[in-house]
Chain A
């Protein structure tokens, strides 16, 4: 079956702009989590959605937001981009019940100039 799909793969934006990233989870998975990876901070949890509701949130400013649709697809939005938002943004999906492994997409590489 198809894996986790993230679009776009690469993105260049200017400071102050906003950006929306998309994640399509594995079919049947209801949980989608987002992570930010930078060389300095490593992999950090942003938020998790389950059945269209945000279930967990990491320690990121309000400029980072997300949502999940009824088909489990998720989007994350970053407003008023800063240079420090340049990172690899990873989406992970899991079916959401019990203790199951998370399946990651290839990520979206965001560069803010």
Chain B
């Protein structure tokens, strides 16, 4: 699976949009981009994932650049409950490869 690079930490004001970048310059054509979030001492939760098109759900939006070498997770109106570590993971599609490779992630602190 392709390696990802994320900033170590970010701050965001409550109510503002949080934009979390991820670089995955070695991504290959069949690799998806996944974003997981881990709130303190809980199991990670998948927020959103995509292959090449931008995606939006009730939690977040995922913007993937045209060359797919980077992506941005957008939390449109951050709340204090969004304070967590966010992991960007690139993972090959198909069966047989279930392991998720977690990097260090971005620690997002939402400030009141």
Binding site for B on A (CB under 8 A): 4, 31, 33, 35, 42-45, 48, 50, 55-56, 58, 88, 90, 92, 94, 96-99, 101-107, 109
Q: Is the CB of B44 within 8 A of A90?
A: yes
Bound complex: CA A4 to CA B46 (Å): 14
With beta carbons under 8 angstroms apart, the residue of B43, B49, B92, B96 that contacts A104 is B43
Q: Is the CB of B44 within 8 A of A45?
A: no
Q: In terms of DSSP, what is the predominant structure of the interface of chain B?
A: loop
* Complex interface: chain A residues within 8 A of B102 (CB): 35, 42-44
Q: Is the CB of A45 within 8 A of B100?
A: yes
Binding site for A on B (CB under 8 A): 32, 34, 41-46, 49, 87, 91-105
| Chain A min CB distance to B43 (Å) | 3
Q: Is the CB of A102 within 8 A of B104?
A: no
With beta carbons under 8 angstroms apart, the residue of A43, A50, A99, A103 that contacts B93 is A99
* Complex interface: chain B residues within 8 A of A55 (CB): 96, 98
Q: Is the CB of A102 within 8 A of B95?
A: no
Q: Is the CB of B99 within 8 A of A107?
A: no
Q: Is the CB of B101 within 8 A of A45?
A: yes
* Complex interface: chain B residues within 8 A of A42 (CB): 102-105
Q: Is the CB of A104 within 8 A of B44?
A: yes
* Complex interface: chain A residues within 8 A of B43 (CB): 4, 90, 92, 104-107
| CB-based nearest B residue for A99 | B93
Q: Is the CB of B99 within 8 A of A50?
A: no
Bound complex: CA A56 to CA B98 (Å): 8
Bound complex: CA A109 to CA B41 (Å): 9
| CB-based nearest A residue for B45 | A104
Q: Is the CB of B98 within 8 A of A31?
A: yes
- Given A44-B102, A45-B100, A56-B98, 8 new contacts (CB under 8 A): A31-B98, A33-B100, A35-B102, A50-B98, A56-B97, A99-B92, A102-B46, A104-B45
